[in-house]
Amino acid sequence: MGGGHLLIHRYQWFDRQVRAGKFPNATSLAEKFEISVKTAQRNIESLRERLEAPLEYDPSSKGYYYSDTNFQLVTPDITQEEMLAILVAQNILSASAGGVISQEIKSFGKKLFGSPELLGLSQKKLNDSFSSTWSEYAPAQGAVFQAAMRALLENKLLAFSYTSPKEPEPTLREIEPHHLQHYMGNWIIVGYCHLRQDWRKFKLSRMLDVKVSKKAFSPRPKSQWKYQLEGGFGIFQGSNTQLIKLKFNAFRAPWIREQIWHDDQSIELLPDGKLILSFPACQYHEVKMKILQFGADVEVLEPEDLRDEIKREASRLSRLYLKK
């Protein structure tokens, strides 16, 4: 049994003794688990400080009692793998919301399990053993993330000034937030926009002057907005999809075979080592950028209008590099 489980069992035994009115102390804890009195006293202090147990010492009874009998000790049986999952989540999400998530997970871990070292996992070991990397993402400010989360969970309207690369000036928006999506390092909120009178996605990184309204709203059925999250390739979703067919040459095919571009994709292997990748998409913007990164290793077979867009882009590239 790992050291973490032993410590949890000590907490649980001590809690039961306190509730039974037996006034346990460091000596009784040491005798029960065959540990030193000093170690037992450290365990009691950990129970009081890290798990916030309202322990008070009664000199006349020479033991501890709870000053608040409503206190409930939360020490579930947890495996090292479960604890590791929590700590890895902290590591992975460390920068994507201004550090807010990682700090909250760290605080949660300390409160629930005592410390990351409870099961032999130090913070240094975690940082040295795991990492996450995203490219081309825009991190959200911590205050913006907190406001968006609060509005989402409390069903409150969210007001903000929104900037967009396509718009010269910010626009004032008020939305009913329904879903927060983490996509490739970016935080995106799905909400009903009062300005556009329709569902929209908003990047938290583009929000300014964010305010949570005191006014509440009634959440709309998921059937109204789930199309914003599923169906086509990438972040751009919609109710209408088209089938994209891409043919990769024999050189690129082995890499594409091991990748998942979409849950509903299909791969057709050709005799000459090439392959055809098919998947649905709602818009071409993100698909087009993905295709172009493979250069001449990929050819668009369908649809024809996407094929034409790639042709035009290839012509522009050719003219650019043929300039003297």
Q: Which residue has the higher pLDDT, 265 or 241?
A: 265
pLDDT in tens, 261-303: 988 899 999 999 999 999 998 888 889 999 999 999 999 999 9
Q: Does pLDDT of 117 surpass 70?
A: no
DSSP, collapsed to helix, strand or coil, labels residue 248 as: strand
Which pLDDT score, from 0 to 100, does residue 184 have?
Answer: 83
pLDDT grade for 2, boundaries at 50, 70 and 90? very low
In a domain, 235, yes or no: no
CA dist., res. 237 & res. 179, Å (int): 14
Last residue of a domain, one of 168, 185, 220: 220
In a domain, 213, yes or no: yes
Which pLDDT score, from 0 to 100, does residue 232 have?
Answer: 74
Same domain, 253 and 279: yes
Mean pLDDT lowest among 147-156, 246-255, 279-288, 309-318: 279-288
Same domain, 249 and 302: yes
Which pLDDT score, from 0 to 100, does residue 202 have?
Answer: 95
Instruction: Work out the average pLDDT over 217-227.
Output: 93
In a domain, 137, yes or no: no
**Counted domains in the chain:** 4
pLDDT in tens, 157-191: 999 999 988 888 999 999 999 999 888 888 999 99
Q: Which helix (H) or strand (E) segment is 90 a member of?
A: helix 80-92
CA dist., res. 324 & res. 305, Å (int): 31
Q: Does pLDDT of 156 surpass 90?
A: yes
Last residue of a domain, one of 190, 220, 250: 220
Phi and psi at residue 218, in whole multiples of 5°? -90, 120
Give the CATH number of the domain where residue 23 resides: 1.10.10.10
Same domain, 146 and 213: yes
In a domain, 225, yes or no: no
Same domain, 161 and 124: no
CA dist., res. 146 & res. 144, Å (int): 5
Give the CATH number of the domain where residue 166 resides: 2.30.30
Q: Which helix (H) or strand (E) segment is 180 a member of?
A: strand 171-183
Same domain, 159 and 187: yes
pLDDT grade for 105, boundaries at 50, 70 and 90? low
In a domain, 183, yes or no: yes
Mean pLDDT lowest among 69-73, 102-106, 268-272: 102-106
CA dist., res. 33 & res. 199, Å (int): 59
Q: Does pLDDT of 3 surpass 50?
A: no
Which pLDDT score, from 0 to 100, does residue 230 have?
Answer: 78
Q: Could you tell me the residue range of the domain that residue 196 belongs to?
A: 142-220
Q: Which residue has the higher pLDDT, 140 or 313?
A: 313
